[in-house]
Structure 1
Amino acid sequence: MSARPNDAKTFHALHSGPGLLVLANAWDAQSARIVQEAGGKAIATSSAAVAWSHGYADGHFLPMDVLTATVREIARVVTVPISVDMEGGYSDEPARVGEHVRAIIGAGGIGMNIEDSTKGADLLCRKIEAVKRAAAAEGVDFFVNARCDVYLRKLAEGEAAQAESIARAGAYKNAGADGFFLPGPTDIALFEAVAAAIGMPLNVMARPGAPGRAALEAAGVKRLSAATALSRGAYNAAKALAEAFLRDGDSEALSRNAGPATDFNAWFRT
């Protein structure tokens, strides 16, 4: 299933309104449909959560064809735009990253996260340029959310980290990025300064100590991502259920703690 023509336009618009776009990151068709049923305006995947669901570690270990198949499965069961966490694009060759994005567009994706990690801004700029060329060839206004890992990987500290992050945002914007993802920090003053300086939507990560929705909106943040939180919650709940049932063999407790018998089949009948 190829990307739906209006989905990219819709996804761009979700970043330009007065409020905060909250993304509860999914990892497969079932979790994506749950997010949509819960009111999600778009689906964003988590690279780590997708990798774990297929038995791989995060960090470019997931085969590209498995990611593409996952996006295709998600696109089959949701009607909202899909943005895909592609780590560093699954290659250090910009042209190859562009080809990967064409595959994701063919599967139904209209946007991506792509990160600089420890490899610096220049390489990511070249990847972004290649992605934009590839997407244009497919006729899709593909949303590139450029992730800056200065804080997450502690590449700098204090004022130097803020200055480096803003400088990278400028470089990524010039290369064609549509948004800037700054995971790691929780300082509202930092968010306000970065949002005012970069001239494109700022995305931050939900984590302990992060400001609430109203404060983020007031600071100019446009996007909040759950990252791996939903998948960790789901897997930890499943682990607790399994441990209790294996220990006690209590059918009543298992049924009670599993929650209501939702008719998930009804979501997927065609």
Structure 2
Amino acid sequence: MTELKDLAGRLRELHTGDLLVLPNVWDAASARTVADVGFAAIATASAAVSATLGYPDGEGAPWQEMFAAAGRIARAVSVPVTVDAEAGYGMRPRELVDRLLETGAVGANLEDTDHRSGGLAEAGAHAEWLAGVRAAAGEAGVPIVLNARIDAFLPGRGVAEEDRLAETVRRGRLYREAGADCLYPIGVRRKADLAALVTELPGPVNGNTGDELDLAAFRELGVARVSYGPRFHFAAMAGLKSAVEELKRA
């Protein structure tokens, strides 16, 4: 527990300095590669991990297999690991915290999509659950770094385009009050929208790269953290496909 506590503290500190860049991984080999290059922390991507396991994203894979994969990743590196735990797999807060710590992870990405309905979870109820996770981490003695993903900008979540910014701010403030360390408004593509969110949201903000958003833009705006989701997994699979297609033609 002492080692996990130290790793959690290190991960939290990484949100307060220069931009924390997280090229998300999917297995032990990809985690070692990212760590060996010199990145200060490792983050998983649920879409990439679930695809590797043969399941669809969106809690399509059994949590036992997802957490087993996270454990293999954490054992492969010496830097802090944060796990994309999707929407928490229906677990109660203390169970989720205990399962995460068993893997060796010290951070979690937790989203507010309700995978049963496909829409967004009720914001107040989700904030209450996040507060429970925060409290459970305190009881366990490891201050897990909670990255609260806000899905209002994603299509199909029932939020009109003109309302997405305000709804993201509303939810983000609730989640921060509940104890989230970082707020992750996924799906934001416009620089102006992200600038407004960095201003309006309390605490560190996690961004995604896009046409208007690169690492220079994130540093300019004061974004704390950037993650890439399954992008590098998709690129690796595309490279494999290209190589075997060439082999097949030979």
Encode CA deviations 1:11-49: one digit per residue, 9 max, x unaligned. Answer: 1111011x2111000011011111111221100000010
CA contact (8 A) 1:179 1:203 kept: yes
Write out aligned runs for 1:27-38 (5 A). 27-38=26-37
Letter matched to residue 61 of structure 1: G
**Alignment counterpart, residue 130 of structure 2, candidates 128, 131, 153:** 128
**Alignment counterpart, residue 161 of structure 2, candidates 153, 157, 167:** 157
**Alignment counterpart, residue 115 of structure 1, candidates 111, 116, 137:** 111
**Alignment counterpart, residue 99 of structure 2, candidates 103, 114, 137:** 103
Structure 1 residues 228 and 106: CA distance shift in structure 2, 3 A: same
Q: What is the rounded CA distance, in whole Å, between the counterparts of 1:85 and 1:76 in structure 2?
A: 16
1:171 is the counterpart of 2:170? no
Q: What is the rounded CA distance, in whole Å, between the counterparts of 1:109 and 1:3 in structure 2?
A: 11
Letter matched to residue 111 of structure 1: G
**Alignment counterpart, residue 213 of structure 2, candidates 211, 219, 230:** 211
CA contact (8 A) 2:87 2:110 kept: yes
Of 23-32 and 238-247, deviating more is 238-247
CA contact (8 A) 2:207 2:218 kept: no
Cα drift, residue 222 of structure 1? 1.0
Cα drift, residue 189 of structure 1? 1.8
**Alignment counterpart, residue 181 of structure 1, candidates 179, 184, 187:** 184
Q: What is the rounded CA distance, in whole Å, between the counterparts of 1:192 and 1:98 in structure 2?
A: 35
Letter matched to residue 102 of structure 2: G
Encode CA deviations 1:60-89: one digit per residue, 9 max, x unaligned. Answer: 111111122112111211011000001100
CA contact (8 A) 1:196 1:220 kept: no
CA contact (8 A) 2:24 2:228 kept: yes
Q: Counterpart of 1:199? A: 202
Letter matched to residue 164 of structure 1: E
CA contact (8 A) 1:206 1:227 kept: no
Q: What is the rounded CA distance, in whole Å, between the counterparts of 1:72 and 1:99 in structure 2?
A: 16
Q: What is the rounded CA distance, in whole Å, between the counterparts of 2:164 and 2:56 in structure 1?
A: 28
Letter matched to residue 15 of structure 1: H
Aligned residues: 242
Could you tell me which runs of 5 or more consecutive residues in structure 2 were left unpaired when the two chains were aligned: 114-119
CA contact (8 A) 1:68 1:104 kept: yes
Deviation >4 Å, runs of 4+: none
Cα drift, residue 57 of structure 1? 0.6
Q: Counterpart of 1:5? A: 5
Q: What is the rounded CA distance, in whole Å, between the counterparts of 1:3 and 1:156 in structure 2?
A: 45
Cα drift, residue 183 of structure 1? 1.2
CA contact (8 A) 2:5 2:143 kept: no
CA contact (8 A) 1:25 1:46 kept: yes
Cα drift, residue 198 of structure 1? 1.4
**Alignment counterpart, residue 231 of structure 1, candidates 230, 233, 238:** 233
Q: Give me the TM-score of the superposition, normalised by structure 1.
A: 0.85
Root mean square deviation of aligned Cα: 1.6
Letter matched to residue 234 of structure 2: R
Q: Please tell me whether Structure 1 or Structure 2 has the larger radius of gyration of its CA atoms.
A: 1
